[in-house]
Amino acid sequence: MEGADVVIGKSTIIFRRFMRNKTAVAGLAIFLALTLFSFVGGYFTPWDKETIDPFNIGMPPSAEHYLGTSQAGIDLYAMTVEGTRISILIGLVVGLVSVLIAAVYGCTMAYFGGKVDKLMLFVLEALIMMPALLVVAVATSGGGAGLKQDLPSWLLLIIVLLVFSWMGTARLIRSLSMSLMQRDFVKAAQYMGVPPRRIIWRHLVPNIGSLLVLDITRGVTAAILAEVAFSFIGIGIKLPDVSLGVLIGGATSQVQTFPWMFWVPLTVMFLLTGSLAMMNDGLRDAFDPSSSSSGKARKKRARNNGTDQSLVQKKAS
């Protein structure tokens, strides 16, 4: 129908803004490529992370071993595939679940207020005061011997990281939700007798959606870096489980002798965290067009439009 208005949803607008950001799209492509590599890369080699090749010990990259072998004769390509998958899995689970916990906890504090808010805030402050590094060290070493027998080290690390990764976001969500509680649509829902659970999920959480999405990407990055850091110093993932942190930490003392053992997983880690940072910047600009990078892009387009208009005026004169 001619002259009819076309209504475009907010999510469509955000998606289009994101896709116009070439840097963000490149970051998304890199992250998806690494994720695909971590799940299907093992089908392109006959070796796995446990098979030893006694005839190729400490060998550089070759046609048989694409990324070389370790000093124990294990294929580095197979270990990199496994390590990338474990690191991405840790990042995604911790990033998604921690934000979900923070959203529910923070919105619940803001909705009920009063004594409930004070009690939940006390628990939150107590958890923040706990020494995360010490808890990780105890849980993944002798202090967590019972758990270690039942759970793989990477799953145990996920549980420990989840305990400490949501508190800061929960406090921020509480502050934002308390301001939302004063809005008319929330008060109207309360007046109509809408259950608290539905108000939280239908009115509070959707209105902080942009914050949640950005915190997910930041949380995934932080979880991957935490895994690498903890495994690097020996209190994270333990052999026979493999991760990027395990590979980097195990090859640090052999950079001169077996440089490929160190630089390959380090490069993958940089690509992984760098792609997530690029995606986070693109998402921020998509949700907030007034952010710095979006503002620069608009100013550049404005200058180009002004130059084009001046050229047209000169030609017309």
* pLDDT single digits (tens) 153-205: 888 889 888 988 888 889 999 888 888 888 888 888 888 888 888 888 888 88
Q: What is the CATH number of the domain that holds 46?
A: 1.10.3720.10
Residue 7: what pLDDT?
45
Between 135 and 149, whose confidence is greater?
Answer: 135
pTM of the model: 0.81
Q: Is residue 1 part of a domain?
A: no
Q: Flag whether 3 is in a domain.
A: no
Q: What is the pLDDT of residue 294?
A: 47
pLDDT at 300 over 80: no
Q: How far is residue 203's CA from residue 186's CA, in Å, rounded to a whole number? A: 7
* pLDDT given for residue 307 in this prediction: 47
Inter-residue contact 105 to 162 (CB < 8 Å): no
Using alpha carbons, select from 134, 108, 95 the residue that is nearest to residue 212: 95
Q: Above 80 in pLDDT, residue 141? A: no
The string of pLDDT tens digits covering residues 31-74 is 999 999 999 988 888 888 888 888 888 788 888 888 888 888 88
How far are the Cα atoms of 25, 50, 106, 156, 280 from residue 277, in angstroms, in the given order? 12, 33, 25, 26, 5
Residue 92 sits in which domain range? 10-316
Q: Where are the alpha helices (DSSP H) in 113-243?
A: 114-129, 132-139, 145-150, 153-164, 167-180, 184-191, 196-199, 209-232
pLDDT at 150: 65
Does the pLDDT value for residue 29 go beyond 50?
Answer: yes
Q: What is the pLDDT of residue 65?
A: 84
pLDDT at 286: 87
- pLDDT-derived band of residue 312, with 50, 70 and 90 as boundaries? very low
For residue 4, is pLDDT > 50? no
The predicted structure's pLDDT at residue 311: 44
For the chain, what is the domain count? 1
Q: Whole-angstrom Cα distance, residue 94 to residue 92? A: 6
* The pLDDT of residue 127: 85
- 314 pLDDT band, cuts 50/70/90, is low
Q: Is residue 255 part of a domain?
A: yes
Q: Is residue 269 part of a domain?
A: yes
Which pLDDT tens digit goes with each residue over 63-122? 888 888 888 888 899 999 999 999 999 999 999 999 999 998 998 888 888 898 899 999
Q: How far apart are CA 10 and CA 280, in angstroms?
A: 18
